[in-house]
């Protein structure tokens, strides 16, 4: 009983110290953010033509595009993060270099998580990365950012063409980028060369065709937006097409293999896939998955 009272007294005696520690932690966090705000202000002062405060947004003029970070949402996060939904910085609006669009694209750009980094430093780092957006494009983890720029411009001649060229040269797959044709040519297996094109204004995403040893092109899907459901990321498509059509034989790919027109179309020009689909239909004869007669028509 005496020992219990002693422990209670020790606990009570430590309350003031614990409170002081808590207050110092909050004060330290506020001070770090104050220093971060000075850093952010310095970036804006040093780049008055490229970073400025608009009526509703922080405006950043990058090398590849122009960007907006909504002020109201940003301030709400700093005022009281407990009342805001979601995590991280607001989504960044992505606009062409030469004009602001009502129907712009958006990118979620998040830095690596760092519990020691104050919020103002994270905002400053985001703005610096958008000023150096060519380097941001090259970062492996920034697929959403690349996707937003590609959705904005496509792969025809544009402010991002040089950056796309540099990026695909770094990829382990064999890819040729033709900016004037608006196409990426990817070396596949079994003599296939795949062609990703985005020059048709009616196509939401990409058209995929293939050729065999320099022969004519065979269109397999008019628009990957419809055929590939959520699989529209160009990095993903390059990786998957570089392994095809071989990867389609054993379903070792996320390309549409057992359903849809894409597999049927490829099978018309690739006998091993025709046989694989025929065996698959035989094993699953309860449902008409494919109209295999069309493959030989």
Asked whether the whole model's pTM tops 0.85, one would answer no
% of the chain with per-residue pLDDT over 90 = 45
How remote is the C-alpha of 45 from its chain's centroid?
30
pLDDT in tens, 235-245: 888 999 999 99
Of 93, 96, 97, the C-alpha closest to 106 is: 93
* pLDDT at residue 208 tops 80: yes
* Residue 67 to residue 283: CA distance in whole angstroms: 53
Please, what is the average pLDDT of the chain?
A: 84
Res. 293 pLDDT band, cuts 50 70 90:
very low
Question: Taking the domains of the chain in order of start, what are their residue ranges?
Answer: 23-147, 154-295
Mean pLDDT, range 199-207, rounded to an integer: 81
Q: Which residue, chain included where needed, has tokens 């890819």?
A: 175
Res. 60 pLDDT band, cuts 50 70 90:
very high
Res. 268 pLDDT band, cuts 50 70 90:
very high
* Residue 270 to residue 119: CA distance in whole angstroms: 54
Tokens linked to 289: 């998955």
Q: In what order do the strands lie in the sheet with 207-212?
A: 175-178, 183-187, 192-197, 207-212, 218-221
What are residue 93's phi and psi, to 5 degrees? -75, 140
The DSSP symbol for 127 reads H
Question: E strands within the chain?
Answer: 51-53, 57-61, 66-70, 92-95, 105-107, 175-178, 183-187, 192-197, 207-212, 218-221
Q: Which residues have a Cβ under 8 Å from the Cβ of 216 and sit 6 or more positions away?
A: none
Q: Which residue, chain included where needed, has tokens 């239909």?
A: 281
Q: Which of 85-89, 158-162, 254-258 has the lowest mean pLDDT?
A: 85-89
pLDDT in tens, 104-156: 999 988 666 566 678 888 899 999 999 999 999 999 889 889 999 998 998 99
Res. 18 pLDDT band, cuts 50 70 90:
confident
What are residue 273's phi and psi, to 5 degrees? -70, -35
Cα separations in angstroms, 245 against 168, 257, 259, 266: 21, 10, 15, 8
Res. 290 pLDDT band, cuts 50 70 90:
very low
Mean pLDDT, range 52-63, rounded to an integer: 94
* Residue 198 to residue 204: CA distance in whole angstroms: 8
* pLDDT at residue 295 tops 50: no
pLDDT in tens, 65-77: 999 999 988 888 7
Q: Which long-range contacts (CB under 8 A, 24 or more apart) does 123-129 make?
A: 123/36, 123/40, 123/74, 123/89, 124/36, 124/39, 124/40, 124/43, 126/69, 126/89, 126/92, 127/40, 127/43, 127/51, 127/58, 127/60, 127/69, 128/43
Question: Residue 93: its pLDDT value, please?
Answer: 95
- The Cβ of residue 67 has, within 10 Å, a number of other Cβ atoms equal to 25
Strand partners, 57: 70
Q: Which residues have a Cβ under 8 Å from the Cβ of 94 and sit 6 or more positions away?
A: 65, 66, 67, 104, 105, 106, 107, 148, 149, 152
């Amino acid at each position: 009983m005496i020992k219990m009272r002693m422990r209670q007294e020790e606990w009570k005696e430590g309350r003031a110290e614990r409170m002081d520690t808590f207050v110092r932690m909050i004060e330290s966090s506020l001070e770090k953010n104050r220093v971060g705000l000075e850093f952010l202000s310095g970036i804006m002062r040093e780049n008055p033509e490229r970073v400025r405060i608009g009526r509703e947004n922080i405006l950043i003029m990058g090398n590849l595009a122009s960007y907006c970070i909504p002020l109201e949402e940003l301030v709400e996060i700093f005022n009281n993060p407990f009342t805001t939904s979601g995590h991280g910085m607001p989504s960044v609006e992505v606009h062409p270099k030469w004009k602001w669009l009502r129907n712009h694209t958006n990118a979620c750009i998040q830095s690596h998580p760092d519990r020691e980094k104050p919020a103002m430093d994270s905002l400053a780092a985001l703005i610096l990365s958008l000023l150096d957006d060519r380097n941001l494009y090259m970062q492996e983890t920034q697929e959403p950012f690349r996707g937003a720029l590609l959705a904005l411009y496509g792969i025809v001649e544009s402010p991002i063409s040089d950056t796309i060229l540099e990026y695909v040269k770094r990829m382990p797959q064999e890819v040729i980028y033709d900016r004037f044709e608006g196409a990426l040519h990817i070396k596949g297996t079994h003599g296939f060369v795949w062609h990703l094109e985005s020059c048709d204004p009616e196509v939401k995403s990409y058209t995929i065709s293939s050729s065999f040893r320099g022969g004519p092109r065979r269109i397999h899907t008019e628009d990957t937006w419809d055929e590939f459901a959520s699989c529209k990321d160009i990095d993903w498509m390059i990786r998957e097409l570089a392994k095809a059509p071989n990867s389609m034989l054993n379903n070792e790919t996320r390309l549409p293999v057992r359903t849809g027109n894409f597999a049927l179309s490829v099978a018309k020009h690739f006998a091993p896939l025709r046989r694989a689909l025929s065996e698959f239909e035989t094993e699953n004869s309860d449902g008409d998955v494919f109209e295999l007669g069309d493959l030989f028509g």
